[in-house]
Structure formats: C-alpha cells, structure tokens
Structure 1
Amino acid sequence: MELTRITSLEQLEQYRNDWSLILEENQNTNPFVEFVWVYEWWKHFGDEYNVEIMLVILDEKPIGFFPFIHKTRWFSHTYTFIAFGLANYMNFVVYEHLLDDVIEFVFDELIKVQKNVVFYLHGLLESDKTSDSLEAYVQKRKSAFSIHRVITPYIHLQEIELEQYSDKRKRLHRIDKREKRLRKNGAVKFLRSNPEEMDSVFHLFEKRWKKRRSTSGFTSDKGKEFFRGLAGIQDGSMQTEIDGLYINDKMIAFQYGFLCRGRFVGYVKGYDDDFHVFGPGIILEKQKTLQCMKNAVTIFDLSIGYEPSKFELNTGEDYTRKMIFSSNSLIGKTVRHFFTLKESLLERMKKNYSFVLFIRNTIGKLLYVSRNVFNTESKTIKEELVAYLTRVKKYLYERKKYIVYKIEKKDIPGLFDSGDFIELTIGDAVTCPSIANSYLKEVCKKIFAGYTGYYPVDCLSIHSIFWMNERVMRIESISYSEELHKKSAFIQHWSIDNIEKICSFVKRNNAVNTLYVSVEARSKYKRAKLEGVGFTISKYVFKRRFLGFVQEISKDFE
C-alpha cells in the first residue's frame, strides 16, 4: 500500500469517480462523506484549515480516503475529521472488505512520521463497521483511548404500519386540532421548496434563533453560501431536500435535510415563532415522515441529540461516537488526556437537557439583550426589559380587582348602527404590515385559544379588532378562566366608542343569549358606559400576590 496526501481541490477533483465508486459499492447512507458534500465544504471552508485527505493506493488503484484536518499545537500534531461542527456523521471512505487493513496501515504510518500525534475523530456511528475496526486497532496497539457517545434516534419506516403511525401522530401534541385550526385560517400546503427559497429558510432560522444561543453555523456568512450550494444538489446518490409548510403562500416552517440511498437525515428545521401555538414544526415533520414512507425511504434519521421530541415516535436508537486516541509519547498522551476531559464534561452536560435549554434559551436571551441594550433604535429590547421588570414587580406584589358584566340578548338595544365587521383570519393578519410585523404572534395565540376576531370593514389594525369567545371567559392579566354556559359569549378588546356597535352586531349575527365583558374595578368611565348600555354586574374577581404566593377569589354579585 502507498499513502499520499491530497491538499487541494484540484487534486481532489481527479478522484471524484474513485471516491464515488467506493461509496456505491459499500452502499453508503451517510450523506456527509459523499463526494459532493465534501467538495462543497472544502470549497467554502477549506481556506480556514489545513486540509489533508489521506489517499491510500493499492496496485495503482485508490482504495481509501481519510478526510482529515491537520493542526499543529502544543508541540503535537492533531488530526480531526473535516467539517467538525457541520457534519453530524463522518467516516473513512474505504472498501469495506479492506477496512481493517487500511486503518492499520494509515494510522501506523501517521504515528511513525509524527511521534507526538493525537486523533480526535467525531461522527462515527456505532452501527457502522468503522467504529469496531478503529477500536480493535487501538486495542491491538495498546494505545490509550476514550469514547464519547451521543444518542442518535431514528424511525425505521418499513417497520411502521401507516394507519397505526397516523393514529399515534394524531394524539401527539393534539396535532390534528392544531392543524385543523391552522387550515381554518388559510390555505395550508406542504411543498418541496426550491433552492431559490433559501433566503426564506435563512430568515425563518434567524428569526427563530434571534434570542437563543445557536452553534450550528447555518446562517453564518460562509454557512449561507455553503448550504445554498448544497441546496442545488437535486440528483445523484446524495440529494438535498428542502420542504416547507406554507399558509397563503407564506413559508412558516422548513426542514432542510439530505437523502442518501434510502436514508433521510433531518439536518436543520425551523419555524416562525409567531405561529408557535399551531405547532408548524410538528405538522411539517408529520407530513415529511409520511412523504418518506410513501417514497419507500427506509430510515428517517432524527439526527444526534437528546431533545424529547426525537423520542416520541422513534423506533430505534443508534449512537454517534467521538473517539480520541494518540501515540504513546508523553506529549501525545497529555494532549489526549486534555481532550478527553473536555469531551467528558461536554458529554455530561448534553445529557442534562434542562441545562442545555438553560444555555440555549436563558443565556441566549441574556446575550441578545446585552448586545442590543444600548441600541437606541431597538424597540424590542426596551419591551423585553419592561416586560421583565413588570414580571418581577408582579411576583413581589400585585393586587387587582375585576368586575364581570353581562347583558341578555333581549336587553341589547337594536337602535345603534352596528356597522360592518369582518371575521379576522390569519391570512388577513399576514397581509397587514402593522400586524404582521409586531402582533402576529398575539393574533395566532388568540385564534388558537378559541377566540374569533372581528374588525371594521374599512379599518384593519390590532387596535380595531375585538375578540369573542363562546366557550371560555378569560381575564389574561390575572390568569382567570371560567367555562361559559351554552349560547353565551365573552368579549375582549372593546372600547367605550365601539361597545354599542359590537353588542348590536353580535345580537344580529350570532345565536348568543348572554354577553359578558370584564373591566378593572377602577375604570369608572368604562363601567359607566357599560351600565348605560344595559350591562349589569355578574361577579367580582380578586387577585392578590405577595412574594409569589397567590390568592384568587371569585364572588358572584348578589
């Protein structure tokens, strides 16, 4: 065997067919070692690293490629796989029947040349033969090594009964209810997205992670160009698949993944936080899974990680390894020991999902606020700070009193001009810039909570909408709720100027016998207006909070 190094893209291009032939014979299902993926990565990131792909030749024929990055530090040489942090899985590209011999040859040669050398190899699937072969090698050489694992759940699609799977998905997160309510408010479609829509994909990802800590690199400057380049790969053994969930042609969720010889790897997904209550990410993943089943895809790979959502419907679990070993020199062992301690700590932290969420969400939000707190144009930061201080104030002390008023249908005056109100849909909200930019999340929450919104025919703004709920009376500011009797309704966001028109409109267009509204006890003008229209007091609701202890009292009016 001969060992040589490939150190440029031009050299690598010469071996495109040899590389692909090996993977085809091995029936590789790891998209991250396919030639097109490695080539794109090197093209966009290669200038940052000392890339050395070890080429093994036997009888003048390439039989193996080892895609490494070579670093010199701490008086030692470190070899890692390429694309660390971007490629979930990695491997050697070697004919399987020669794997043991080639591994022994390559690592013996590298250790012979570099006395103080450490190998830090990520992304090795335990189900793949490489993990066992590499472990056998280091044991044979009596080299100290460590293995660090992260769980990798997947769905074996050919083992699932479609009807049973669909029933289970229906019960999960009340997904049918969410999807039904979303479809009621617009034209919902699940479609394969075009590479030209990558700007929308990046926008959704950035919006989703704006106040969270992300280490994916998906929307870094080079990351965007890299993933945009991969998006154009639509045929061959490895294809990039981008799927989107749309409402009225607006993308509200996406899944970016790779299909490789019957294995789909879900790489990145995201959704518009404004639509969070409808679970667009869950709906999209359900549709994508069903699509893969119909297209005879064998494995739906949920990718590495301990997120609870990955274990709700997986049928199997694999593990992905980081393997660290070194030459037997003192320096090599010392550096290896440092890497081992680091990875052991990271491994333990990642298993604690609560800690992961704390770093991702709480620390991420603090970092976002600290970066933008002195930005005078940032209205969002000011709102965040005010909201936080308000929550602290309410926790320490809060005292509120509300009065619930009611009016019977027969007592509603019919003399007022009810005007024309239009029922609000999400489609209307999306096309109204003032709502879409600042209040879309609030509108989605209202609609999902069972409210129906109405706005004047000639004026759509967040302040012109009144909300009606025929099932539940909710006073959000004090977290009070009460189920309503049949043919009753609760009105929110009314004003002194429009309460008469609202009552008349409801009387004329809805089968409601009793109408309820709530008002703070100290709002004398609103109370006077309600009583002038014909409303009478139904009950009092009190809420007191002191240092987190809450007392809530509801008292009917006698």
Structure 2
Amino acid sequence: MFNYLIITALEQLKSYKKAWDDILEQEKNTNPFIEYEWISTWWATIGQSSNVEIYVVMEDKEAIAFFPLMRKEHRGIQNLTFLADGVANYMDIVVKSENKRNVLTYLLNALFKKEDALLLQLHGISEESATSNILELFLVENGFKYSFHRVVTPYLHFDKVNFQQFMHKRRKKHGVDRSEKKLERLGNVQYYPLQSNEKSKIFGLFESRWKKKIDTSGFASTERRPFFEALLQIQNHNFKTEVDALRFEQEIIAFAYGFSCRGRYVAYTLGFDSDFSMFGPGRLIDRRKLLQSYEEGEKIFDFSIGYEKYKFDWHTDVTFTRTFIIAGSNKKAKRQKFLLSLVATVKEKIKQHQPFVKFKRDILGKLIYNLRSKKEWLKSIFSICQWRTWQLYELEKGTKLYEKLPFEKLALKSLLNSQRRAEAILLSYQGFDLYGEDGIWEFQVHKSIYRNQTWQKGFELPSTNSVFIDGWQEQDLELICHAFNNETIYVISNMSEWKKRRALKKIGFKNVGVVHQWKFLQLEGLKNKKLLQKEGARYSIY
C-alpha cells in the first residue's frame, strides 16, 4: 500500500537525500534539473519565497518517489506546478522505472480526489521520458480535461556520427572557421574553464549584452544570480556545473554555462562581449564546447529547448519537451485551464516564428531601452531617417623620400582598455591597420577598400598600390601623407566637414567621387557615382 507525505521545508528534505540520490543513480538519470543538488540549491536561494510542496510517496515506510511541486492560489483555484518553473528547462518525477506507472496513478488520483478545484501544470517533461506517455494515458483513461504544449529540443548524439568528419563539414558554416582565424591573427585566443575569481565577469558580460534586449532568462538578475553562483560550487562525479570561457588576450569575450549529468551535457546559457559580436563569439564557443564535450566522453550534447537557428547547425536528433495543463472537475478550474491553454498555444506558435522572436527580443528591447534614457531616445529619433553625402579624394603618390616618421602600427590588445575599444575592434575586424604615436591611436589605414564606419559595406579602391586613410585630423594630415608618400592615398569627407575639405585641397587632394548614404529604420543603402574606377572595380562587402 502507498501513502504520501508532504515536505514543506528544506531541512525536512535533507533527511531524504540518500533515497533521492539512490533512485537517480539506479536510473542513470541524465536530467540535471532533478538532481538533489540542483533542487536543494534552488530552494535555498531563489525558492525560499515559493510555497514548495515535495510529495514523497512511501511504501512500507520507504520513500520510493518524489514529486517536486509548488503551490499557488489564483481566484480560488489551487495551482500545483513543478517547482523552478521558468528556471528549470526540464523537470520530472524522481522514481524508479518499475514503479513509475503505479506511483503516478496513485498520487494523481489522491490529489484530484482531495481537491476538485485543482489545476496541475507540469512543465519540462521530455517526450523521451516514460512519464509523458504514462501521464497522457492516465488522463485519457480517466476522462480528465487536459492539454499539452511542445517545444523542440535539438541535441547531438556523439555515438551516431564520425565526430571528426561531422565537425570538418561544419567548420566553414557561417564563416566560423574564418572568424576564428581572423581573431587569432589579431591576438592570443584561449579557451579554458572559468577561474574562481572570475564569477562576476560572466554576469557583467551577460548583463552588458542584454541591456538593450529583452531577456527572459533572468540569468544575471538580482534575484537569480545567487542561485547560478551557488551552482558553481557543485562538482561531483554525477552532476556538475560547467562554465567555460573564450578569451582574447586574457580577457573573457564569451562564456558557456551548462550542466553535465551522467554523460549528458545540457547547454543552459551563453554570453559574449558585444564589442566582439562581428566575430560570432557565440558560435566560436559553441564549437569549442562541442569539441571539449566529445574529448571528455560525453554521450549527448543537449542544446536545450528552443527554436534558435544555431542549435540546428550542430544537431543530429530532435525530441520535444511538453508542458501539461490538467484541470480537476471544478468548472472554474476548467475555465482557467482553457485560458492558460490558449495563452500557451499562442506562445508556442510565436516561438516557432523566429523573425518575430528576434523582433521582440532585439528591436523592441532596444526601443524600450531608448525610451528609458532621454539621451538614447533623442539619438534614436534622429537616426530613424538619414541622408548623408561623402566625397572621395585622391592624392597621387609622390617621389620624395622622407626620414622615419613617428607613426607606428598598434596592436589591438593595446587598445582593449581605451575608451575607443569597440571602434578599434570593429575596424580591426574590417581589415584596418591602426596607427598612432606613443601608443595613442590617431588614424587607421586599409589597403584594399574605402569605407566609413557607418557604412554596411565598403568599395574597392580605384587604383592599385594605394591606401585608404581615415580617422585623421586636419593638423596631422600632411605628416600622415608623408608617411605613405610612395602610395596613392584616398580619403573621404562628409559634405558638412568643410574644414577637412579645405585642408585636403591645400595639400593637393582631388575630388574623384561621391557616395550617397541613406538610412530608414533598419534599412540602409549606399550609392556611388563619378568614381574614377579602373575596369574591374567592384563592391566588396565586409
């Protein structure tokens, strides 16, 4: 005979740790979110304000199953949900396989018999788990009003592929291979686990990346951050939290936060430095983490729930994760179930439409951020619609030789702590060489294209043996031209910069072309005309 008791305090749960762990060990559980350490850490940090009810099913005074639930009341209806809703991507009951059907049937009957005004919401149940089929069969056989809603869950099964060939075929996808090599040419790139004194850096990185977007994870929020920090302390042979970081010149530019549980790695979240976004650091760290997981003997790399496109670049299989909404016999409970199911259906459809998700996360998030800041709000208003005209100037190469000039090429790493850090990273990615005097950046040079930082693309230089120089000041221009006297020099100037145009003409530059730039919302266009280009010149997109 079964009976059950309800645990409502963390201290009570501690006495059942061994029974809980023994069940999961026997079942070879690979769901990190139902491990005792994960559950107890959640309860001790962000779960203290929740009305937690862990139902323990007993048989002959032995705990044989645990149902981790929490209770809420809404308009007279009792809502029981799996705990950590919105934090745990997966959830399930803790029970041995041979007992699952009987235990699930017993407790559900007991709950709905005791409370008819009950609504049960069970999120994160994988369709690969027997729980999903057993639960649905029980609901059908007993005539319950219920609905379920699915979200895709891509994963990579290492045993199903020749991993070296698998990675080789994808090494150039989305330019990942090219971006990594470009970053390595600019400085020292390393990948290794987060150090104990670097915790604050990953949360700062995450917060910085999402400040102009809508973040639904709350990873770096004041409420949830203590929980994710506490998980970093858990390191045992069955379950551990892993944080690995991609570093450029010893500085963290991306990190991957996830859980390893008995041969399954579950990716939870990642963050990266927005200044390096053009290198695709998220994709770079995904590839490094996949290689690491394979080398460490993981069997499954779980990309977790969601329709994000990058997950399908690496997957071999997909499953689905369900949320069940179940109503008791009470009419109010059935009405509430109908409304919740309707909302869940709409969300399910929206999440499948990634352009809409991106609009909400990025465009709407940026709009909300701008509205909170008067300065950003005014800047966004003026940037809605723009028209600019740029003139291209040419100075033919000279024959005079000059003594060594003071300018030197600067390494990107020397500018990572400067106020112009983001600009330096972007220009380095675009192929510019940065020059300065005494370590102070003064101008930049490109040997194949000319472009302004606000342009989405560049144009090939009209002649060979030439350079494009940008970022210069009028008082330094003549000296800069001396430094590149043996090459044809090109510069651009905005129509409003009359002082620069006067300085250019004084030195001997000639106007050889014009570029019109227009921008409306997220759309942008460039048109060049009257360019004295040699045959074969073309657009060069960067």
**TM over 0.5: same fold?**
yes
1:53-103, Cα deviation, whole Å (9 max, x unpaired):
000111221110000001222222111000000000000001111100000
Q: 1:530 to 1:235 in 2, by over 3 A?
A: same
Question: Which residue of the partner structure matches residue 540 of structure 2?
Answer: none
TM norm structure 1: 0.90
The AA in structure 2 aligned to 1:442 is E
Question: What is the alpha-carbon root mean square deviation over aligned residues?
Answer: 2.2
- CA–CA separation in structure 2 for the residues paired with 1:337 and 1:544: 52
Answer yes or no: is the 8 Å Cα contact 1:29–1:263 preserved in 2. yes
Answer yes or no: is the 8 Å Cα contact 1:3–1:54 preserved in 2. yes
The AA in structure 2 aligned to 1:488 is S
The AA in structure 2 aligned to 1:470 is K
1:9-45, Cα deviation, whole Å (9 max, x unpaired):
1110000010010011111100000000000011112
Same amino acid, percent of matched pairs: 33
By how many angstroms is 1:545 displaced? 5.4
Question: Which residue of the partner structure matches residue 381 of structure 2?
Answer: 389
Q: 1:94 to 1:531 in 2, by over 3 A?
A: same
Matched, 1:492 2:492: no
1:267-287, Cα deviation, whole Å (9 max, x unpaired):
010000011111111111111
By how many angstroms is 1:424 displaced? 2.3
Larger deviation: 350-359 or 164-173?
164-173
Question: Which residue of the partner structure matches residue 493 of structure 2?
Answer: 519
Q: Secondary structure at the match of 1:85?
A: coil
Matched, 1:349 2:330: no
- CA–CA separation in structure 2 for the residues paired with 1:41 and 1:551: 53
By how many angstroms is 1:363 displaced? 2.1
Question: Which residue of the partner structure matches residue 274 of structure 2?
Answer: 273
Question: Which residue of the partner structure matches residue 527 of structure 2?
Answer: 552
By how many angstroms is 1:320 displaced? 0.8
By how many angstroms is 1:493 displaced? 1.2
Q: In the comparison of the two structures, how many residue pairs are matched?
A: 529
- CA–CA separation in structure 2 for the residues paired with 1:202 and 1:448: 26
- CA–CA separation in structure 2 for the residues paired with 1:175 and 1:337: 45
Spell out the pairing of 1:146-545 with structure 2 (5 A cutoff).
146-373=147-374, 382=375, 384-394=376-386, 398=387, 400-410=389-399, 413-415=400-402, 419-432=405-418, 435=419, 439-457=420-438, 459-460=439-440, 464-476=441-453, 481-484=458-461, 485-507=463-485, 513-520=487-494, 523-537=497-511, 539-543=512-516
Matched, 1:59 2:32: no
- CA–CA separation in structure 2 for the residues paired with 1:17 and 1:549: 62
Q: 1:478 to 1:344 in 2, by over 3 A?
A: closer
Question: Which residue of the partner structure matches residue 379 of structure 1?
Answer: none
Q: 1:45 to 1:487 in 2, by over 3 A?
A: same
Answer yes or no: is the 8 Å Cα contact 1:195–1:228 preserved in 2. no
TM norm structure 2: 0.92
The AA in structure 1 aligned to 2:492 is S
- CA–CA separation in structure 2 for the residues paired with 1:96 and 1:480: 59
By how many angstroms is 1:549 displaced? 10
Q: 1:399 to 1:428 in 2, by over 3 A?
A: closer
The AA in structure 1 aligned to 2:73 is T
The AA in structure 2 aligned to 1:455 is G
Answer yes or no: is the 8 Å Cα contact 1:117–1:332 preserved in 2. yes
The AA in structure 2 aligned to 1:400 is T
- CA–CA separation in structure 1 for the residues paired with 2:80 and 2:510: 79
Structure 2 alignment gaps of length 5 or more? 534-542
1:525-554, Cα deviation, whole Å (9 max, x unpaired):
4344334434344x2214275988968342
- CA–CA separation in structure 2 for the residues paired with 1:480 and 1:61: 69
By how many angstroms is 1:557 displaced? 5.8
Higher percent of residues as helix: 1
Q: 1:478 to 1:17 in 2, by over 3 A?
A: closer
Answer yes or no: is the 8 Å Cα contact 1:212–1:360 preserved in 2. yes
- CA–CA separation in structure 1 for the residues paired with 2:457 and 2:288: 36
Q: Secondary structure at the match of 2:396?
A: strand
Question: Which residue of the partner structure matches residue 376 of structure 1?
Answer: none
Q: 1:310 to 1:528 in 2, by over 3 A?
A: same
Matched, 1:68 2:59: no
Answer yes or no: is the 8 Å Cα contact 2:370–2:380 preserved in 1. no
Q: 1:153 to 1:478 in 2, by over 3 A?
A: closer
Answer yes or no: is the 8 Å Cα contact 1:195–1:231 preserved in 2. no
By how many angstroms is 1:324 displaced? 0.8
- CA–CA separation in structure 1 for the residues paired with 2:243 and 2:404: 48
Q: 1:47 to 1:466 in 2, by over 3 A?
A: same
Q: 1:97 to 1:551 in 2, by over 3 A?
A: closer
- CA–CA separation in structure 1 for the residues paired with 2:337 and 2:502: 77
The AA in structure 2 aligned to 1:402 is Q
By how many angstroms is 1:402 displaced? 0.9
- CA–CA separation in structure 1 for the residues paired with 2:261 and 2:532: 68
- CA–CA separation in structure 2 for the residues paired with 1:157 and 1:479: 39
Q: 1:108 to 1:467 in 2, by over 3 A?
A: same
Q: 1:38 to 1:294 in 2, by over 3 A?
A: same
